[in-house]
């Protein structure tokens, strides 16, 4: 019995396999999202009832019908099961159906994964708001346009709804694009229980078991939280919580100065917060290209209400409770001695992301992870 286990990247097959009919070019792109995510693809049905995906000047016919996306081998429920319906899983599902495979995708949360629901899409929506706020707050810019604007304000819930509504629209488009091609969307947390066998289900309900010739893991990542940091989801938060914008603190400490921390510093300072970066290495944005780092420092940090501590670890962070603020204890990265204690209104943990492979049952098929990552070859 032949079995293949693949690991899906957050990239997709070229979108030139499709034609997208619109009045103007669509330039909006998030993390390799196929254009179906924006609701601009057109599916046509041939006289045989099969799905035809149009391309520029020609057409490409899949071997799957809308009602039955391919015929699986007699001994399996599906040709392919994909665990995870984020950007990687969605792209893999659509490509598989194009190739005539009967496909199912298992999602334990909501379609769209991190990118659509807790990452690229809502974060860029918030950044769009912060950009507009800065324009309105720039007296020089407004005067140059001949405009007079009183003090700019914002509705926190309205801003949060703006980000959520955009994510919801794209999530719906992703779901509909898979349903239109007959991809079976199975709801529940997926676990591999043996070669070519996956169970899925919700807590408190009976699990279902399905089989497939091949399995793709597309479970993505989750925020990484270092030891000693207590996340309560309210005053000590990760990017998952921050994107909901449930409150805007007067002073927020951001642990980690990579792209996630930098984006949120832009949003929070535009909305009136003071920001303190905490970075373990000797300079901010240590993973950036040096020239980009210098430019970001000059444009995105120096002119704003941002200060920073470098060369220190946030070894302990305690959420606000009983009227007390969030306590951040800083330790020198080299000497390991206590260096300072901060009392802030909130702390955002932006120390990177980790693979989401815990509980997948990889041990049941003798896959040994490396720091949570699935070892793969050049073909994934």
- Indicate the SS3 state at residue 319: coil
Mean pLDDT of 105-122: 94
- Indicate the SS3 state at residue 311: coil
Nearest to 196 by CA among 81, 74, 356, 358: 81
Note the residue count of the chain.
380
The proportion of the chain whose per-residue pLDDT surpasses 70, expressed as a percent, equals: 81
What are 334-342's contacts with CB under 8 Å, separation 24+?
A: 339/309, 339/312, 340/309, 340/312, 342/253, 342/276
Phi-psi region of 113 (alpha: psi -120 to 50; beta: other; left: phi over 0): left
CA distance 254 to 263: 11
SS3 track for 129-146? HHHHHHHHHCHHHHHHCC
CA distance 315 to 304: 26
Mean pLDDT of 51-65: 43
Mean pLDDT of all residues belonging to the chain: 86
Provide the token pair at 27: 């330039």
- Indicate the SS3 state at residue 122: helix
Mean pLDDT of 154-170: 96
Nearest to 257 by CA among 311, 317, 180: 311
Predicted local distance difference test score (pLDDT) of residue 205: 87
Quick check: 222 pLDDT over 60?
yes
What's the whole-model pTM score? Answer: 0.81
Q: What is the largest CA-CA distance in the chain?
A: 75
CA distance 94 to 128: 30
- Indicate the SS3 state at residue 185: strand
CA distance 360 to 189: 9
- Indicate the SS3 state at residue 192: strand
Quick check: 168 pLDDT over 90?
yes
Quick check: 61 pLDDT over 80?
no
Q: Does domain 225-351 have CATH number 3.50.50.60?
A: yes
Provide the token pair at 21: 């009919």
Of the candidate ranges 89-98, 130-139, 141-150, 283-292, the one whose mean pLDDT is the lowest: 141-150
Predicted local distance difference test score (pLDDT) of residue 44: 47
Q: Which residues pair with 294 in a beta bridge?
A: none
Predicted local distance difference test score (pLDDT) of residue 33: 67
Which are the contacts of 184, defined by CB distance < 8 A and separation ≥ 6?
69, 78, 103, 104, 105
CA distance 331 to 326: 16
**Which residues of the chain does CATH 3.50.50.60 include?**
5-222+354-365, 225-351
Q: Are residues 59 and 40 in contact, defined by beta-carbon separation less than 8 angstroms? A: no
CA distance 111 to 117: 8
Of the candidate ranges 38-47, 197-206, 218-227, 342-351, the one whose mean pLDDT is the lowest: 38-47
Please indicate whether residue 58 or residue 202 has the higher confidence score (pLDDT): 202
Provide the token pair at 156: 């926190």
CATH of domain 5-222+354-365: 3.50.50.60
Of the candidate ranges 17-31, 189-203, 335-349, 363-377, the one whose mean pLDDT is the lowest: 17-31
């Amino acid at each position: 019995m032949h079995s293949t286990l693949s690991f899906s990247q957050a990239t997709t097959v070229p979108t030139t396999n499709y034609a997208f009919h619109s009045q103007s070019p669509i330039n909006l792109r998030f993390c390799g999202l196929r254009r179906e995510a924006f609701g601009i693809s057109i599916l046509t049905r041939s006289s045989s009832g099969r799905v035809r995906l149009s391309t520029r000047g020609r057409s490409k016919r899949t071997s799957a019908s809308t009602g039955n996306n391919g015929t699986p081998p007699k001994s399996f429920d599906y040709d392919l099961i994909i665990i995870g319906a984020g950007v990687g899983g969605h792209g893999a599902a659509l490509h598989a159906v194009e190739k005539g495979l009967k496909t199912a995708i298992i999602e334990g949360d909501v379609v769209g994964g991190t990118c659509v629901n807790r990452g690229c899409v809502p974060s860029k929506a918030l950044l769009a708001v912060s950009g507009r706020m800065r324009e309105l707050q720039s007296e020089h810019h407004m005067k140059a346009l001949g405009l007079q604007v009183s003090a700019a304000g914002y509705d926190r819930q309205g801003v949060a709804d703006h980000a959520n509504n955009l994510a919801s629209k794209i999530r719906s488009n992703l779901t509909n694009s898979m349903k239109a091609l007959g991809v079976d969307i199975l709801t529940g947390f997926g676990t591999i229980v043996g070669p070519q066998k996956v169970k899925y289900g919700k807590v408190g309900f009976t699990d279902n078991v399905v089989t497939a010739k091949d399995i793709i893991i597309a479970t993505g990542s989750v925020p990484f939280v270092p030891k000693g940091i207590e996340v309560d989801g309210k005053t000590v938060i990760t990017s998952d919580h921050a994107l909901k914008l449930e409150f805007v603190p007067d002073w927020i400490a951001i642990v980690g100065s990579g792209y996630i921390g930098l984006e949120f510093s832009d949003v929070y300072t535009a909305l009136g917060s003071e920001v303190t970066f905490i970075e373990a290495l000797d300079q901010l944005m240590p993973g950036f290209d040096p020239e980009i780092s210098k430019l970001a420092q000059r444009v995105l940090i120096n002119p704003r209400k941002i200060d920073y501590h470098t060369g220190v670890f946030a070894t302990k962070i305690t959420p606000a409770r009983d009227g007390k603020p969030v306590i951040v204890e800083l330790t020198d990265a080299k000497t390991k001695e206590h260096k300072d204690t901060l009392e802030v209104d909130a702390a955002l943990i932006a120390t990177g992301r980790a693979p989401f492979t815990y509980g997948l049952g990889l041990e049941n098929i003798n896959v040994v992870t490396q720091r949570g990552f699935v070892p793969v070859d050049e073909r994934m």
